[in-house]
Amino acid sequence: MGAGRFAPSPSGELHLGNLRTAILAWLFARSTGRDFLLRVEDLDRARAGAEEVQLRDLEAVGLSWDGIVERQTERTAGYDRALEQLRADGLLYECFCTRRDIADAPRAPHAAPGAYPGTCRDLTEGERARRRSERPAALRLRSAVDELTVADALAGDYTGVVDDFVIRRNDGVPAYNFAVVVDDDLQGIDQVVRGDDLLSSTPRQAHLAALLGAQLPGYAHVPLVLNPMGKRLAKRDGAVTLGDLSTGFAADGNQYDAVAPAAVRDVLLASLGLPAGPLEQALEVFEPAALPREPWIFDSPSTHWDSSTGTTPRHA
Ligand code: GLU
């Protein structure tokens, strides 16, 4: 039996988009008889107390998970081993570039936008020694390909850039693309369901998995929740977290009462074409092929929660 997972970054409260993706990851895992694991991606952007609130909110919408919650900061032995393997295979090189260096570097006319231009790939040992005294090095992967096609349950075959991406940042922290591949492998995760903002990173991750001899997971990248301007939903878009909604919110000149987590869950399920009620009921009719392939636009809480869903607007 394999496992699926949800891997939030504890940078703040989960918003409706994160909760919707978490519900989908749970539905994909449970509907295929997999375990469902939670991994807190706290190598970067961790805010004190955020993890606790995130776990509480996931439980409040009805998610359950297997085993203990893993934290990336407690998984360094796995990263060290994988890094040594790549080093021994001659697949790493030191990179001294700043962001500015990368932006200003000359590029071949056919170079993919956003790809590392290869500036430090072939430095001489003397040059490396000199640069080390100026700036700590990041470690990059010596990628063997420029692009790769991955199969995605929702997006179909997706071809994207594989460049010499960063494995370990120059502050010594394992880079996201590296940590996620090592963790998924060591945790036995064979199903990756996440927001489609990460689809473009997937060819890099799949290439790295192959180099590490890791099993390639099945991928399903789910459409995001957008605000009415078509931008990815964010906390600044207003009452978009369970915390905000549970204290009531102001909109259209009205003050609305608290929205319960179950009412939030039901609106998220409806946005996926799934029936209201406990997630176990949605599970019975869950069918990946029937999922919407377009982003869900979340306009304003007052469109979704009013007196008819147990939330009564009251005048401010
Ligand atoms: N931690 C990442 C995020 O919150 C997700 C990583 C993943 O699912 O691979 O965006």
Assess whether 112 and 133 both reside in one domain: yes
Residue 315's pLDDT is: 58
Residue 207 in any domain: the answer is: no
Nearest CA to ligand 1 atom 6: 7
58 in the same domain as 102: no
Q: Is the pLDDT of residue 73 over 50?
A: yes
* Token pair of 297 as six digits: 């636009």
At 309 the pLDDT is 64
Within this chain, do residues 95 and 67 fall inside the same structural domain, yes or no?
no
Which domain CATH number covers 113?
3.90.800.10
Which one of 73, 150, 194 would you pick to mutate in the ligand 1 pocket, going by the greatest count of ligand atoms within 8 A of its CB?
194
pLDDT band at 308 (very low <50, low <70, confident <90, very high): low
Query: Does residue 104 share a domain with residue 64?
Result: no
**CA 48 to centroid of ligand 1, rounded, Å:** 18
Distance CA 224, CA 36 (A): 21
pLDDT of residue 316: 46
| pLDDT single digits (tens) 173-186 | 999 999 999 999 99
Q: What is the domain count for the chain?
A: 2
Q: Which band of pLDDT confidence, cut at 50, 70 and 90, is reported for residue 307?
A: low
Binding residues for Zn(2+): 95, 97, 116, 120
Helices (H) and strands (E) in the chain, counts: 11, 15
- Identify any residues that bridge with 255 across adjacent strands, giving them in sequence order: 250, 314
d(CA 238, CA 261): 17
What span, in angstroms and rounded, lies between the C-alpha atoms of 18 and 241?
9
Cα(316) to centroid(ligand 1), Å: 39
Answer yes or no: is 316 within a domain: no
Nearest 5°: the CA angle 140, 87, 200 is 35
Binding-site entries for L-glutamate: 5-9, 41, 176, 194
Yes or no: say if 279 and 265 are a contact pair by the CB < 8 Å rule.
yes
The whole domain housing 255 covers: 3-72+224-304
Summarize pLDDT for 271-280 with one digit per residue, the tens: 999 999 999 9
Same domain for 165 and 81: yes
Q: How far is the CA of 113 from the centre of ligand 1 (A)?
A: 22
Q: For 163, phi and psi rounded to 5 degrees?
A: -115, -170
Structural domain contains residue 214:
no
Model confidence pLDDT, tens digit, residues 204-216 = 999 999 999 999 9
184 dihedral zone (left: phi>0; alpha: psi -120 to 50; beta):
alpha
Average pLDDT, the chain: 95
CA 125 / ligand 1 centre spacing (Å) = 36
- Closest C-alpha residue for ligand 1 atom 7: 7
Pocket of ligand 1 (CB under 6 A): 7-9, 41, 180, 194, 198
Q: In this predicted model, what pLDDT tens digit does every residue of 130-142 receive, in sequence order?
A: 999 999 999 999 9
> For a pocket test of ligand 1, which of 26, 41, 44 has the largest count of ligand atoms closer than 8 A to its C-beta?
41
Residue 52 is assigned to a structural domain of this protein: yes
